[in-house]
A and B are shown apart, each in its own frame.
Chain A
Amino acid sequence: DTVLTQSPALAVSPGERVTISCKASESVSTRMHWYQQKPGQQPKLLIYKASNLASGVPARFSGSGSGTDFTLTIDPVEADDTATYFCQQSWNGWTFGGGTKLELK
Chain B
Amino acid sequence: EVQLVETGGGLVQPGKSLKLTCATSGFTFSNAWMHWVRQSPEKQLEWVAQIKAKSNNYATYYAESVKGRFTISRDDSKSSVYLQMNSLKEEDTAIYYCTWGVWFAYWGQGTLVTVSS
A and B form one complex: yes
Decide: A96 and B43 in contact? CB cutoff 8 A.
no
User: Does B45 touch A at the CB level, under 8 Å?
Assistant: yes
In the complex the two chains form, is A45's CB within 8 Å of B43's CB? no
Q: Is B44 an interface residue (CB 8 A)?
A: yes
Interface residues of B, CB < 8 Å — how many? 19
> Which residues of B have CB within 8 Å of A33?
103-104
Q: How distant is the Cα of A25 from the Cα of B36 in the complex, in angstroms?
A: 24
Alpha-carbon separation in the docked complex, A30 to B104 (Å): 15
Q: Tally chain A residues at the interface, Cβ within 8 Å.
A: 22
Looking across the interface, which residue of chain B has its beta carbon closest to that of A43?
B107
Interface residues of A (CB under 8 A from B): 1, 31, 33, 35, 42-45, 48-49, 54-55, 84, 86, 88, 90, 93-96, 98-99
Alpha-carbon distance A1/B115, docked complex (angstroms): 26
Interface, chain B (partner A; CB < 8 A): 35, 37, 43-47, 50, 61, 64, 97, 102-105, 107-110
Contact partner of B104 (CB less than 8 A), chosen from A45, A55, A98, is A45
Among A42, A48, A86, A88, point to the contact of B108 (Cβ < 8 A).
Answer: A42
- Centre residue among B46, B103, B105 by max chain A CB count within 10 A: B103
